[in-house]
Amino acid sequence: MSFVAELERHLGVSLITDPDITSTYSRDQAPFASYSPAAAVLLARTTEEISKALAFCSERKIPVVTRGAGSGLSGGANADSKSLVISLEKMNQIIEIDSANQLARVQAGVINLDLDTAVKEFGMAYLPDPASRDWSTLGGNVATNAGGMCCVKYGVTSHHVRALKVVLSSGEVIEVGKATKKFVTTLDLMHLFIGSEGTLGLICEATIQLARAPLESSVMVLGVENFAEIVDVLTCFSRDLDLSAFEFFSQQALDKVVSHRGHTVPFKTETAFYALLEFEHSSPGILDKAMALFEHCVDLGWVVDGVISQSQSQAKNLWKLREDISETLWQWQPYKNDISVRISRMADFLEDVDQLVMEQYPDFEVIWYGHIGDGNLHLNILKPEAFSVDQFHSKCVNVSEEIGQLLAKYEGSVSAEHGVGLLKKDYLHYSRSAVEMDMMRSIKRAFDPNYIMNPGKLFD
Ligand code: MLT
Ligand code: ZN
The answer to whether residue 57 scores a pLDDT higher than 80 is: yes
Residue 210: the pLDDT is: 98
Mean pLDDT, to the nearest integer, of 197-225? 98
Mean pLDDT taken over the chain: 97
Q: Hey, how many other C-beta atoms are within 10 angstroms of the C-beta on 258?
A: 16
Q: Where are the alpha helices (DSSP H) in 274-429?
A: 286-299, 312-323, 325-329, 346-360, 389-409
Residues paired with 413 in a beta bridge: 340
Give distance in angstroms: CA of 417 to centre of ligand 2. Answer: 7
Q: How far apart are the first and last CA of the chain?
A: 25
- Residue 213, pLDDT > 70, answer yes
Tell me which residue has its CA closest to atom 1 in ligand 1: 131
Residue partners of 409: CB distance under 8 A and separation at least 6: none
pLDDT at 1: 55
Pocket test of ligand 1: the residue of 71, 136, 418 to mutate, having most ligand atoms within 8 Å of its CB, is 418
Smallest CA separation from ligand 1 atom 5, residue: 131
In the reported structure, the alpha carbon of residue 170 is separated from the centroid of ligand 2 by a whole-number distance in angstroms of 35
User: How does pLDDT run across 408-452, given as a tens digit for each residue?
Assistant: 999 999 999 999 999 999 999 999 999 999 999 999 999 999 999
Confidence of residue 349 (pLDDT cuts 50, 70, 90): very high
Residue type, 396: C
How far apart are the C-alpha atoms of 71 and 417, rounded to whole Å? Answer: 13
Specify whether the CB–CB gap between 209 and 163 falls below 8 A: no
Atom 7 of ligand 1: nearest residue by CA position: 326
Tell me which ligand sits closest to the C-alpha of residue 322: 1
CA angle 17, 23, 26 (to 5 degrees): 100
Over range 290-314, report the average pLDDT: 98
Q: How confident is the model at residue 2 (pLDDT cuts 50, 70, 90)?
A: confident
Q: 107 CA to middle of ligand 1, Å?
A: 25
With beta carbons less than 8 A apart as the criterion, state whether 103 and 208 touch. Answer: yes
Ligand 2 center from residue 37 Cα (angstroms): 28
How many angstroms does the Cα of residue 378 sit away from the middle of ligand 1?
7
- Percent of the chain at pLDDT > 90 equals 99
Ligand 2 centroid to residue 82 C-alpha, Å: 32
**Residue 273 pLDDT exceeds 60:** yes
pTM above 0.95, yes or no: yes
Residues whose beta carbon lies within 6 Å of some atom of ligand 1: 131, 326, 378
Question: Tell me, what amino acid is at 221?
Answer: V
Residues 15-56 pLDDT 10s: 999 999 999 999 999 999 999 999 999 999 999 999 999 999
Across the range 137-151, mean pLDDT stands at 97
Q: What is the pLDDT of residues 76-123, one digit of tens each?
A: 999 999 999 999 999 999 999 999 999 999 999 999 999 999 999 999
| Res 355 pLDDT > 70 | yes
Ligand 1 atom closest to the Cα of residue 338 is: 8
Q: What is the number of the ligand 1 atom nearest to the C-alpha of 149?
A: 2
Beta bridge partners of 305: 223
Quick one: which ligand is closest to 72's CA? 1
CA 57 to ligand 1 centroid distance, Å: 34
Average confidence (pLDDT) over 204-223: 97
Measured from the CA of 326, which atom of ligand 1 is nearest? 9
Identify the H or E element spanning 208: strand 202-209
> pLDDT class for 143, splitting at 50, 70, 90?
very high
| Nearest atom of ligand 1 to the alpha carbon of 329 | 9
